[in-house]
């Protein structure tokens, strides 16, 4: 694990200039980890920020590493993302579907565009959103320039991508293609409760009234 930890630590500093360090105590003594590497030890992966090629590479490496460590224990993927590159997002999506460990997805803050697809692609029954999270879906966008034939090729590719994304949302939410196409026509924002009702997540987690209490699970309902 030490090689991957060092690589992730170096790569993370490119995006996050200040990385908190924590001490991990064991029978062999104390060892310092950057916070993301320490979370990785507990099978927690953080997708925080835009879905880029760099971010995708980091997420893929962590997912594949965790599978090599343990093929049965779940992986917890925390998402707070405005979305980003479709191809980078689909690389993460395909890896999530390919590896053997179940993947529990958690939306904190927002899961928009490709972020929302990765959220709903988690293991059924274990897709969560916190109460003030926002989920947004929309159709893919792009730009093209050059000769008319080049522009036509790009336009056709965007249409193919839109159909693919629609089918994936339909598969994971159990909604009809007609319903999904209506969502995707424009930016469609949902609260956590609405996302649960539409099938993008399974549960909304609310804090219990008691101090220090655990999160209370509700499907589209506020905790009493």
pLDDT at 220 > cutoff 90: no
Mean pLDDT along residues 3-19 = 51
Q: What is the pLDDT of residue 7?
A: 44
pLDDT one-digit tens code per residue, 33-79: 788 888 999 999 999 999 999 999 999 999 999 999 999 999 999 99
| Residues with catalytic function | 113, 138
Mean pLDDT along residues 91-118 = 98
Q: What is the pLDDT of residue 4?
A: 47
pLDDT one-digit tens code per residue, 20-31: 777 777 767 777
Please write down the long-range contacts of 93-98, taking CB distance under 8 Å and 24 or more positions apart: 93/117, 93/118, 93/121, 93/168, 95/59, 95/60, 95/63, 95/64, 96/63, 96/121, 96/122, 97/121
Of residues 99 and 149, more confidence is placed in: 99
Mean pLDDT along residues 83-87 = 95
Q: What is the pLDDT of residue 150?
A: 74
Distance of CA 131 to the CA centre of its chain: 17
Domain ranges in the chain are 43-139+188-218
CATH value of 43-139+188-218 in 2.40.290.10, 3.30.1490.150, 1.10.540.10, 3.90.226.10: 3.90.226.10
pLDDT at 32 > cutoff 90: no
């Amino acid at each position: 694990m030490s090689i991957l930890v060092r690589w992730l630590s170096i790569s993370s500093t490119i995006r996050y200039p200040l990385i908190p360090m924590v001490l991990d105590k064991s029978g062999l003594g104390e060892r310092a980890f950057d916070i993301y590497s320490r979370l990785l030890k507990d099978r927690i992966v953080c997708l925080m920020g835009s879905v880029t090629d760099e971010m995708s590479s980091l997420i893929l490496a962590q997912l594949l590493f965790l599978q090599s460590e343990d093929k049965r224990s779940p992986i917890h993927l925390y998402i707070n993302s405005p979305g980003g590159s479709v191809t980078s997002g689909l690389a993460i999506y395909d890896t999530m579907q390919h590896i053997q460990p179940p993947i529990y997805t958690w939306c904190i803050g927002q899961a928009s565009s490709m972020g929302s697809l990765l959220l709903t692609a988690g293991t059924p029954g274990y897709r969560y959103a916190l109460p003030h999270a926002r989920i947004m879906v929309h159709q893919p966008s792009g730009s093209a320039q050059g000769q008319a034939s080049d522009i036509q090729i790009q336009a056709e590719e965007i249409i193919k991508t839109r159909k693919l994304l629609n089918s994936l949302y339909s598969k994971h939410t159990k909604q009809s293609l007609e319903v999904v196409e209506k969502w995707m026509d424009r930016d469609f924002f949902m609260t956590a409760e609405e996302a649960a009702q539409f099938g993008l997540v399974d549960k909304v987690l609310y804090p219990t009234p008691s101090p220090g209490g655990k999160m209370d699970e509700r499907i589209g309902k506020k905790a009493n």
